[in-house]
């Protein structure tokens, strides 16, 4: 692959290294190549009779996977293999992948709870969001949701309300008292998501308190991170140390990656500006310290004779920065983050890091470091190997690229991030048209409309709402409830054309849905606006609201026009996703 790159000297503290980066070679063709390699590797592993569905890949070089059993409570990697299988299922809905993913997912249920808190790990998020969480997102089967909520209940038991952190573990009690590790930032999603999907709302506050303690006590002034902060039982800081890094004062690369990803995820759920600030702070430490190929060494401060590339840290950050770039308000910074993600994927997709689809070992991504040789572990563990979590985050990063590198608007889980402006002056009788593609099935997705002056904070803010309901069909809000004059089912990854005629004076609207290759079906005929919605005199805002997860559906070609205007008149069209941000 021919790459033309301009590489300037890396000046300490410089945050503009990627600001003017050229277009990277990573594109849809490269993404497809990575996914094809992943598909071949994962098909071979999931079909290997030597790997039963209660055993989970962890690391490998050219030999077979080293496996860990589903009953290994204190190991943390079991969710990554089924998670990859679910990501493969998402690509084309091939039942082969669903069957395989379900088998390795269900065998993890044994870890959802334990009467002995010492057997409950802080890594339940890694295990359950990647397996059961993905399964629920892609199938809507409530079994998966219930198991995930039980796991969240278990994780919440590890929260120490006095200190305000999730106590990471009991296995090092002789050295630590109430320890917090940076890795736990990745497990907070289990609590954030659970609080919004039938679990205890207090879980959200637990997770946010932990994230804030991480930002204040674990992130240094320069944006680097400690690995471990140990507290007394009263909450006083006893020590700041490392467990897997080079030294207590160094920054372990994968720990920094966990921080970047974890704070970004926390912002996704809370929209708390402190989480966005923390995500940018740790990112702005990471980026200017990268070498020319964008792949960090295992620790940013280890001496030259103890350096080793860690592709797993790079894959984690490549996934996280694509999301973070969608949240920052400064377009230049957003582009810098996205350029950094694509530069990293460009290298990871090269032969230097991407395993051969048909040869080599069973792993996808080469040159990962689990635990470099340190005083704590002089022999190290899984150095320069394929690591199952490196594979997972590479597949996730590439899947995200495919999802976000397309035209249109994607739905979001929270208000008000779901809202797009439609301009002013949309009064009287208006015709709205758009194409909508559900990306999972079933979903609970709403395309809703509100007045320009309405602050959209809940479903009740939306006077008009077209829904893809959890039963698998379209319906429309009529007064106090949803209804449909005809049954129009939807399928994942199929595109439906929707036409709405709304009379802002009469406070009624009609909706037609045209399935792929079919004809328009009248679903709503002069339905009354939602009865508890605010006064709605114009069509000023549209909300693309997910019910369970971000990105449940995509809307393209959204237009608004006066009924008397030609079809090609003034329109507001959805733009290309690229580095665009949620408003």
Could you list the active site residues?
123, 183
Give me the residues paired with residue 553 across strands: 438
Find where tokens 């803010």 sit. 461
Q: What angle do CA 427, 433, 436 make, to 5 degrees?
A: 135
**Burial class, 28, CB count within 10 angstroms (exposed 0-12 / middle 13-18 / buried 19+):** exposed
Rg over alpha carbons for the chain, rounded to the nearest Å, is 24
Q: What is the DSSP letter of 293?
A: T
CA distance 544 to 436: 10
Could you tell me the two tokens for 336? Answer: 């810098």
Q: What angle do CA 93, 95, 97 make, to 5 degrees?
A: 85
β-sheet with 429-438: strand ranges across? 409-410, 553-562, 429-438, 496-503, 508-514, 521-528
Number of helices (H) and strands (E), helices first, in the chain?
13, 21
**Burial class, 576, CB count within 10 angstroms (exposed 0-12 / middle 13-18 / buried 19+):** exposed
CA distance 494 to 302: 50
Compute, in degrees rounded to 10, the torsion defined by CA atoms 155, 206, 230, 236. Answer: -150
Q: Nearest 5°: phi and psi at 114?
A: -160, 135
Quick check: 548 and 444 in contact, CB under 8 A?
yes
């Amino acid at each position: 692959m021919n790459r033309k790159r301009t590489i300037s000297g890396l000046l300490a503290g410089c945050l503009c290294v990627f600001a003017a980066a050229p277009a990277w070679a990573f594109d849809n063709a490269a993404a497809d190549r990575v996914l094809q390699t992943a598909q071949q590797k994962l098909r071979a592993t999931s079909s290997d009779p030597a790997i039963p569905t209660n055993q989970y890949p962890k690391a490998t070089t050219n030999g077979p996977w080293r496996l860990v059993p589903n009953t290994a409570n204190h190991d943390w990697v079991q969710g990554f293999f089924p998670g990859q299988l679910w990501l493969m299922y998402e690509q084309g809905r091939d039942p082969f992948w669903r069957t395989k993913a379900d088998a390795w997912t269900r065998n993890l249920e044994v870890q959802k709870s334990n009467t002995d808190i010492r057997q409950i790990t802080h890594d339940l998020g890694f295990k359950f969001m990647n397996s059961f969480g993905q399964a629920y997102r892609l199938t809507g089967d409530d079994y998966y949701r219930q198991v995930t909520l039980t796991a969240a209940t278990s994780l919440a038991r590890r929260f120490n309300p006095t200190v305000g952190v999730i106590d990471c573990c009991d296995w090092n009690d002789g050295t630590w008292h109430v320890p917090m590790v940076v890795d736990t930032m990745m497990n907070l999603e289990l609590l954030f998501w659970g609080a919004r999907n039938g679990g205890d709302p207090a879980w959200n506050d637990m997770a946010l308190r932990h994230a804030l303690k991480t930002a204040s006590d674990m992130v240094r002034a320069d944006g680097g991170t400690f690995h471990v902060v140990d507290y007394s039982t009263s909450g006083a800081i006893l020590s700041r140390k490392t467990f897997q890094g080079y030294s207590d004062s160094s920054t372990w690369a994968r720990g920094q990656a966990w921080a970047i990803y974890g704070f970004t995820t926390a912002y996704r759920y809370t929209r708390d500006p402190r989480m966005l600030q923390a995500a940018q702070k740790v990112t702005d430490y990471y980026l200017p310290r990268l070498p020319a190929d964008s792949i960090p060494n295992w620790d940013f401060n280890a001496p030259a004779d103890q350096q080793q590339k860690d592709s797993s840290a790079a894959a984690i950050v490549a996934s996280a920065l694509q999301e973070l770039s969608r949240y920052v308000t400064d377009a230049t910074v957003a582009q810098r983050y996205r350029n950094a993600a694509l530069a990293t994927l460009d290298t990871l997709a090269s032969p230097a890091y991407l395993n051969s689809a048909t040869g080599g070992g069973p792993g996808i991504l080469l040159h990962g470091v689990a635990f470099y040789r340190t005083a704590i572990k002089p022999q190290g563990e899984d150095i320069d190997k394929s690591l199952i979590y490196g594979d997972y985050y590479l597949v996730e990063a590439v899947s995200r690229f495919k999802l976000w590198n397309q035209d249109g608007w994607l739905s979001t889980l929270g208000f008000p991030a779901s809202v797009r402006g439609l301009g002013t002056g949309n009064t009287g009788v208006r015709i709205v048209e758009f194409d909508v593609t559900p990306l999972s099935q079933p979903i609970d997705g709403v395309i809703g409309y509100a007045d320009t002056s309405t602050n959209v904070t809940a479903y009740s803010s939306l006077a008009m709402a077209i829904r893809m309901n959890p039963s698998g069909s379209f319906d429309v809000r009529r007064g106090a409830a949803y209804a449909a004059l005809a049954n129009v089912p939807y399928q994942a990854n199929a595109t439906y054309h929707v036409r709405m005629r709304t009379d802002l004076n009469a406070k009624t609207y009609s909706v037609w849905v045209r399935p792929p290759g079919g004809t328009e079906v009248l679903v709503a005929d002069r339905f009354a606006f939602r009865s508890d919605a605010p006064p709605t005199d114009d069509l000023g805002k549209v909300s693309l609201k997910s019910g369970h997860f971000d990105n449940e559906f995509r809307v393209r070609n959204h237009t608004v026009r006066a009924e008397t205007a030609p079809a090609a008149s003034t329109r507001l069209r959805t733009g290309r996703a690229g580095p665009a941000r949620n408003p």
